[in-house]
């Protein structure tokens, strides 16, 4: 089969916020930057659905109007922002102090400047982009002008090109291989530095509202190329996933509607009230009135309640007090005007179409958020991974949020550029060429298999997702994690030897995604098994408490002699430690 070659100074994989920003940075340094995406530019990224940038304290009038509750994640001056990143994205508990604090500090220091800079790219109405106007499509309104700007300054792009692996020669990454879905040919791209901005892996779960192309390809590719990944067990879940038959698998967007309402199990019991009393999470001034919002009711900021909400709901479901795999949120008393809210262009009432929420409670269950997670390809404060020539930006690095992507995009783009400025195009060894041919031959085998030889990639994907949800979901146990690892190993064998793309490059993309999903799934399960405590996103039923004495550590995953190795790495508490944080709160 034909192979098309191309070369550039800085190769950027992925076209969400991190990728586009990195490419702009490299191009501004006068280099030839090429963005490659497995789908179309920007549109398949999580950025499109991302919320506002959240860089500043909200204007008073929004608080006064009741659009922002004081104490919500948005009310966040610098110190709070920094802590947010240190905690690894506090939304549902984050990774609680295992994030790289130097990177967090860089992000917190840089974010306002980076957000302001968006004006240069033609992003309109920065104020409302930064500060959650009540409605609007934030991520989309930021990324689309950025893509136009990137094209205008001469960033090249290549769409519908799936990258399957990085090319590693000796210690250096010197490009990437893949295939062009539209032309139906293999592609080899040579470059002096590579920025990966491939997004996260929300789609490895059965219940997930991550965009469908978020299959964690970057994690798997980085792993195969020898880079280290940290805290892969830290995968964020949210409590408000709709589980009503006939309605889409999405969440109740974070409109104020969901901040009031009453949670009940199948017996009609208000189980969270009981849970809150038993677990001592009721704060000062709690009204305990079901008519109040969650934060007033329990006397705590809503974000602090989310991890408990997930745990309580999942426990109800697992112990059989739910309605099948769901519990109920009763919104019947919520005033209708509160339901007229959107989340980045997705309207609550469009999702609930025709469902009579005024009369009936809605079935909900935990759901994987995908974009909120604490793990990823390990980077330092220069956006460098542990493999030379490979940089990471955005969700593929250990962090999340648009600002994180924006700042790490700049870091990765800039440092990739400074590497590229000093290098010549790499000389390719015959060994490398052999390796490329071997990889292409494997893809060709999958491509030529037909349905008589094996299952479609989609079926295998569904099996992976179901294993991951059952064994590595919001609440985990040693037995389930081990079972999950065994099941995925079996799926992996079948996948490698049987999966059939029936001559279609679109199906080949799905097959490669499925292969990557298995690897990423194994990482999540292995890291979770290794961390014998409950911290942030990693909630273990068999180790229910956080253990700061032994576990103020990251889990690091590397590939050694073709095997997955997990090891702990102490966190450098350079700026803030859990003790200090406690003192400041008091």
Partner 1 sequence: MKIWRVHTISYEFDDEKCTCGIGLCVEACAQGSLEFNEETKKMEMVNLEQCIFCRQCEDVCPTQAISIKGALTLQEIRVC
CA dist 96 and 537 (Å) reads 9
CA dist 137 and 248 (Å) reads 20
Whichever of 48 and 276 has its CB closer to partner 1, that residue is 48
Q: How many residues bind partner 1 (CB under 8 A)?
A: 30
Instruction: Show contacts with partner 1 in window 250-269 (CB under 8 A).
Output: 250
| Window contacting partner 1 (CB under 8 A); options: 132-140, 165-173, 316-324, 518-526 | 132-140
Whichever of 373 and 509 has its CB closer to partner 1, that residue is 509
Name the one residue in this structure whose structure tokens are 């010197």: 174
Is residue 40 near partner 1 by the rule CB under 8 A? yes
Least separation in angstroms between CB 532 and partner 1: 36
CA dist 211 and 48 (Å) reads 9
Least separation in angstroms between CB 369 and partner 1: 13
Q: Which of 66, 122, 154, 248 binds partner 1 (CB under 8 A)?
A: 248
Is residue 517 near partner 1 by the rule CB under 8 A? no
Is residue 67 near partner 1 by the rule CB under 8 A? no
Is residue 160 near partner 1 by the rule CB under 8 A? yes
Is residue 128 near partner 1 by the rule CB under 8 A? no
Is residue 340 near partner 1 by the rule CB under 8 A? yes
Whichever of 432 and 504 has its CB closer to partner 1, that residue is 504
CA dist 138 and 343 (Å) reads 9
Cα dihedral 109, 111, 112, 114, rounded to 10, equals 120
Instruction: Show contacts with partner 1 in window 166-205 (CB under 8 A).
Output: 182
Least separation in angstroms between CB 238 and partner 1: 15
Whichever of 49 and 302 has its CB closer to partner 1, that residue is 49
Is residue 506 near partner 1 by the rule CB under 8 A? yes
Is residue 240 near partner 1 by the rule CB under 8 A? no
Is residue 292 near partner 1 by the rule CB under 8 A? no
Q: Which of 65, 274, 353, 490 binds partner 1 (CB under 8 A)?
A: 353
Q: Kindly report the three-state secondary structure assignment for every residue of 120-173.
A: HHCCCCHHHHHCCCCCCCHHHHHHHHHHHHHHHCCCEEECCEEEEEEEEECCEE
Least separation in angstroms between CB 351 and partner 1: 6
| Window contacting partner 1 (CB under 8 A); options: 43-51, 146-154, 172-180, 544-552 | 43-51
Is residue 49 near partner 1 by the rule CB under 8 A? yes
Burial of 260 (0-12, 13-18, 19+ CB in 10 A): buried
Among the residues of 29-97, which ranges form H helices? Answer: 60-64, 78-86
CA dist 471 and 477 (Å) reads 8
Is residue 247 near partner 1 by the rule CB under 8 A? yes
SS3 state of residue 189: strand
Half-sphere exposure of 519 (CA within 13 A, CB side): 26
Whichever of 43 and 114 has its CB closer to partner 1, that residue is 43
Is residue 346 near partner 1 by the rule CB under 8 A? yes
Identify which of 78, 348, 46, 74 has the alpha carbon closest to the alpha carbon of residue 203: 46
SS3 state of residue 4: strand
Is residue 504 near partner 1 by the rule CB under 8 A? yes
Is residue 43 near partner 1 by the rule CB under 8 A? yes
Burial of 80 (0-12, 13-18, 19+ CB in 10 A): middle
Name the one residue in this structure whose structure tokens are 């909630």: 539
Distance (Å) of CA 162 to CA 64, 180, 352, 508: 48, 6, 35, 9
Is residue 212 near partner 1 by the rule CB under 8 A? yes
Is residue 208 near partner 1 by the rule CB under 8 A? no
299: number of Cβ within 10 Å:
15
56 Rama class: left (phi>0) / alpha (psi -120 to 50) / beta: beta
Least separation in angstroms between CB 9 and partner 1: 27
Q: Which of 61, 64, 171, 246 binds partner 1 (CB under 8 A)?
A: 246
- Return the H-helix or E-strand segment holding 313: helix 302-318
Q: Which of 62, 63, 105, 135 binds partner 1 (CB under 8 A)?
A: 135
CA dist 522 and 584 (Å) reads 39
Half-sphere exposure of 91 (CA within 13 A, CB side): 20
Whichever of 247 and 421 has its CB closer to partner 1, that residue is 247
Is residue 351 near partner 1 by the rule CB under 8 A? yes
Least separation in angstroms between CB 341 and partner 1: 9
Question: Please, what's the largest Cα pairwise distance for the chain?
Answer: 72
Backbone angles phi, psi at 220, to 5 degrees: -65, -40
Least separation in angstroms between CB 49 and partner 1: 7
Half-sphere exposure of 472 (CA within 13 A, CB side): 36
Cα Rg of the chain (Å, integer): 23
Q: List, in sequence order, every residue forming a beta bridge with 367; answer none if it has no partner.
A: 238
Residues 20-39: x where in contact with partner 1 by CB under 8 A, - otherwise, as a string? -------------------x
| Window contacting partner 1 (CB under 8 A); options: 165-173, 218-226, 246-254, 317-325 | 246-254
Which residues in this chain contact partner 1 in the complex, by CB under 8 A? 39-40, 43-44, 48-49, 135-137, 160, 182, 211-212, 246-250, 340, 342, 345-347, 349-351, 353-354, 504, 506
């Amino acid at each position: 089969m034909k192979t098309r070659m191309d070369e550039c100074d800085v190769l950027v994989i992925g076209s969400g916020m991190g990728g586009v920003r990195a490419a702009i940075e490299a191009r501004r340094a006068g280099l030839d930057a090429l963005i490659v995406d497995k789908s179309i530019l920007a549109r398949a990224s999580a950025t499109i659905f991302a919320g506002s940038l959240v860089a500043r304290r909200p204007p008073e009038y929004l608080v006064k109007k009741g659009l922002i509750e004081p104490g919500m994640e948005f009310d966040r001056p610098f110190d709070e922002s920094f802590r947010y990143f240190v905690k690894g994205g506090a939304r549902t508990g984050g990774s609680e102090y295992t994030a790289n604090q130097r990177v967090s500090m860089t992000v917190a220091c840089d974010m306002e400047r980076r957000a302001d800079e968006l004006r240069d790219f033609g992003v309109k109405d920065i104020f409302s982009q930064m500060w959650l106007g009540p409605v609007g499509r934030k991520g989309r309104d930021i990324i689309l002008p950025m893509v136009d700007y990137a094209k205008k300054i001469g960033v090249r792009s290549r769409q519908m090109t799936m990258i399957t692996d990085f090319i590693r020669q000796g210690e250096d990454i010197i490009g990437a291989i893949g295939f062009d879905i539209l032309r139906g040919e293999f592609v080899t791209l040579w470059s002096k530095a590579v920025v990966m901005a491939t997004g996260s892996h929300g789609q490895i779960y059965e219940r997930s509202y991550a965009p469908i192309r978020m299959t964690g390809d970057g994690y798997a590719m980085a792993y195969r190329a020898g880079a280290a990944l940290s805290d892969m067990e830290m995968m964020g879940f949210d409590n408000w996933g709709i589980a009503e038959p006939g309605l889409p698998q999405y969440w109740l967007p974070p409109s104020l509607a969901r901040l009031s309402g009453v949670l009940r199990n199948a017996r009609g019991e208000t189980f969270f009230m009981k849970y809150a009393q038993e677990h001592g999470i009721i704060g000062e001034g709690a009204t305990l009135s079901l008519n109040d919002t969650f934060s007033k009711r329990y006397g705590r900021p809503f974000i602090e309640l989310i991890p408990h909400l997930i745990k309580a709901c999942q426990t109800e479901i697992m112990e059989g007090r739910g309605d099948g795999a769901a519990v109920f949120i009763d919104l019947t008393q919520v005033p209708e005007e509160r339901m007229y809210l959107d989340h980045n262009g997705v309207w609550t009432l469009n999702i609930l179409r025709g469902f009579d929420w005024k009369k009936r409670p809605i079935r909900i269950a935990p759901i994987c958020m995908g974009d909120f997670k604490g793990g990823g390809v390990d980077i330092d404060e220069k956006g460098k991974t542990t493999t030379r020539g490979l940089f990471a930006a955005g969700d593929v690095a250990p962090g999340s949020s648009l600002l994180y992507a924006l700042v790490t995009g700049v870091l990765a783009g800039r440092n990739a550029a400074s590497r590229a400025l000093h290098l010549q195009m790499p000389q390719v060894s015959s060994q490398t060429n052999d390796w490329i041919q071997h990889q292409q031959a494997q893809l060709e085998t999958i491509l030529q298999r037909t349905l008589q030889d094996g299952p479609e990639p989609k079926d295998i994907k569904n099996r992976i997702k179901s294993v991951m949800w059952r064994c590595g979901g919001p609440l985990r146990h040693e037995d389930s994690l081990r079972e999950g690892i065994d099941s995925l190993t079996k799926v992996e064998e079948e996948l490698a030897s049987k999966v059939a793309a029936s001559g279609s490059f679109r199906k080949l993309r799905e097959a490669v995604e499925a292969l990557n999903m298995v690897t990423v799934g194994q990482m999540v399960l292995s890291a979770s098994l290794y961390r014998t405590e409950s911290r942030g996103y990693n909630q273990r039923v068999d180790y229910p408490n956080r253990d700061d004495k032994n576990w103020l550590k990251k889990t690091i995953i590397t590939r050694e002699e073709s095997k997955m190795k997990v090891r702990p790495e102490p966190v450098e508490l350079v700026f803030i430690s859990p003790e200090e944080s406690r003192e400041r709160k008091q």
